[in-house]
Structure 1
Amino acid sequence: MKKRPGLNTVCTHTGEVEDKRFGGAVSPLYMSTAYVFEDIDEKRYPRYFNTPNQQALCRKIAALEHAEDALIFGSGMAAISSALFAFLRKGDHVVFQNTLYGGTINLVREEFEKFGIEYSFTEGFAPEDFEREIRPETKVIYIETPSNPLLTITDIRAISAMAKKHNLVSMIDNTFASPVNQNPIDLGIDIVLHSATKYLGGHSDILAGAVASNSEYIDRIFQLAKNFGGSLSDYTVWLLERSIKTLGVRVKAQNKNAKKMAKFLAKHSDVEKVYYPGLKSHPDHELAKSQMRGFGGMLSFELKDGLDVSEFQKSLKLIKPVMSLAGVESTILSPTLTSHALLTPEEREKQGIKDGLIRFSLGIEDVKDLMEDIDQAIENVKSKVEVVS
């Protein structure tokens, strides 16, 4: 077997567009939307995902996920919707994990009924919870691990084995883990999905999505995706290829910061609970160790009762209270007001998402500075509570 290059080598070199004219060290950018079509083997067109920069980036993402092939999209939701609709038809059924990205849940609730596609959400995360929902008409099983925003871990090996047993297509949203920490295809999953806006982009300035799988499944997704029109502009493709060069070093720094921050918050007198799979107290810690190389740069926590979350976020000076995640800068948000705002209060409560929950995306800053920012923000909130009292 041919030896696979190391992670940072893949990030830096795989999928480069060779600059044959000037010998530049970085990929040249081809901005054309019109290519010659006579006397050539491949007719290039941006909506067909086959411009030089698009194809090069797909090779890089496929290599990162240990897949045969990949496709890139204009957003994570474009990738998710294209993959799901490529394998589901009227009368089909799909099993979803009960805690998913809010946008994915909204897609299912708003659109599937129009196409006659049925779906079920599991009650829990155990393999038997998934097995219980499988029907004769089930075609797809879909998971997200670590989950957003409570960092719950689903057993990837068990789900992939179950999918094979029932002849189902298995899909996973691997955004929170990133290819640095987790490669689901090695664990038996068929299709890996990413919001490339997050860790793959990593600088809070790119909107993109990605799908990685075997060549047969990627072609099937392509046949639908070219009609949906969710392709990515070549300039953004070029920026994303540039960003992925530092993916390995960025994510490893974020892993390190998140683990230190989780331990700090777990001991903090003003923090009620911390959700991070790297903590030994996390109920899925051992499972996470068995399928992840690192525990990720994401965590969530709840402040003690009486401490206003909104006021806490406004009091931060270094950590940015903004939407999205996984940038080199640390960010924080309330899932109730952002990522899961489309869910009803009852749905959020069922998933364990409280109004006081805070999702924390660790960046690459010095972690002591981040801890000091947390402390001063909490003290500011407490001082205002004391004044009111």
Structure 2
Amino acid sequence: MHQNADEFAYMLRAQRAAYGGTYELVHHQLRDLGISASMIDIAAAADSWRPLLQPNTKVIYVEAISNPLMEVPDLPAVAAFAKQHGLTSVIDATFATPINLQPALDPGFDVVIHSATKFLNGHSDLIAGVVASSAEIVSQIKSKANHLGGSLDPHAAFLLHRGVKTLALRVERQNANAALLAEALEKHPQVAAVFYPGLPSAPRYELVRELFINGGAGGMLAFEPYGGMHAAEAVLKHLKLGMVAPSLGGVETLATRPSSTTHVGLTREQRQAIGIGEGLIRVAVGIENGQDLVDDFMQALDAAAAAAAAAPTNKVE
């Protein structure tokens, strides 16, 4: 989208907590291209973002549901701020899916992106991405993709077409399972915090109910057990139905510690600064029987607590 070298001073705006790969892209790879970036706190009022604008600021980027803390920005406010200041607004709606936030262009964003590898495909067997925007912007992106790569191979396209056919059914089940699991985790005595936008205790819960269709708050959640990293590792070790892996959006339930996987590229201090504790567990909820999932996580928490009680000399962070 840049025409000459002197235009490579564009600013990219990004929310404070985002996917680790996005964080590294924004703060490292894009800087090699002369594109600098600043982070904004999506929990703050839009007025507080204005002083951070530079004459060459061009883009504001947000995740519809942030990874891994499941924060939902005031999406209409972000889109309105972008329009007011002549910025291109980009939203990553991967966690929300087009089923829950449909269409994502409604809040007023210029560009909607999805990691099609995840929910759109739903079977954890391909790598793909989707960009939805105006014909003008899509034309520019197609031109760049044609020259720089990134084209989907025929078999992957076939698999993605297969996956999209069951998207609505899968997401409906994942919504229900995630809500059930989040509610159970919130009540468990070994859990310090639960991050799920569909909980009444979540920030902007009323906004989520307003923006997301039929109350569907997605199939992603996170929680922190008491005891930090060692407790989290013990919980993961004792899972039987849920698998320990960093991906998401498939039919199976996956759990991981972001500090050792998705956000391992950040320093511990950087993770702490954006609210990602060493004991945080992110869960990508699948389509299994919901009560079976709840039972599995409850027994894993109980087993981890019992193991800790039996070994009092273990360090607890």
TM-score, structure 1 as length reference: 0.76
Q: Which one-letter code corresponds to 1:167 in the other structure?
A: G
Distance 1:300 1:152 in 2: 11
Secondary structure at the residue paired with 2:49? helix
TM-aligned CA distance change 1:383 to 1:202, over 3 Å: same
In 2, are the aligned partners of 1:145 and 1:172 still within 8 Å (CA)? yes
Cα shift at 1:123: 3.5
Find the aligned partners of 1:387 and 1:112 in 2 and give their Cα distance. Answer: 49
Matches within 5 A, 1:207-356: 207-293=127-213, 294-305=216-227, 308-356=231-279
Q: Which has the larger radius of gyration?
A: 1
The alignment's C-alpha RMSD in Å is: 1.8
1:387 to 275, 291, 310: 310
- Check conservation: 2:180, 2:294, Cα contact below 8 A: no
What CA deviation, in whole Å up to 9, does each residue of 1:147-200 have, x standing for no partner?
Answer: 001111111111111111111111011100000011320111000011111100
How far apart are the structure 1 equivalents of 2:232 and 2:204? 27
DSSP 3-state at the match of 1:227: helix
Deviations 1:94-117 (A, max 9, x none): 211111111011112222222211
1:124 Cα deviation from its structure 2 partner = 4.1
Question: Please, which of 107, 112, 116 is the counterpart of residue 187 of structure 1?
Answer: 107
Match of 1:160 in 2: 79
Matching residue of 1:123: 41
User: One-letter code of the match for 1:95?
Assistant: R
1:361-376, aligned counterparts within 5 Å?
A: 361-376=284-299
- In the comparison of the two structures, how many residue pairs are matched? 306
Structure 1: how far apart are the matches of 2:50 and 2:13?
Answer: 9
TM-score norm. by structure 2 comes to 0.92
CA distance in 2, matches of 1:259, 1:243: 23
Distance 1:388 1:259 in 2: 33
On the 8 A contact 2:91/2:112 being kept in 1, the answer is yes
Residue 315 of structure 2 corresponds to which residue in structure 1? none
Please state whether the residue corresponding to 2:180 is helix, strand or coil.
helix
Q: 1:283 to 1:87 in 2, by over 3 A?
A: farther
Query: CA deviation digits over 1:127-147, x for unaligned, max 9?
Result: 234333222211111111210
What is the Cα deviation at residue 386 of structure 1?
2.4
Contact 1:98 1:125 survives alignment (8 Å)? no
Q: Which amino acid aligns with 2:268?
A: P
The amino acid across from 1:189 in the alignment is F
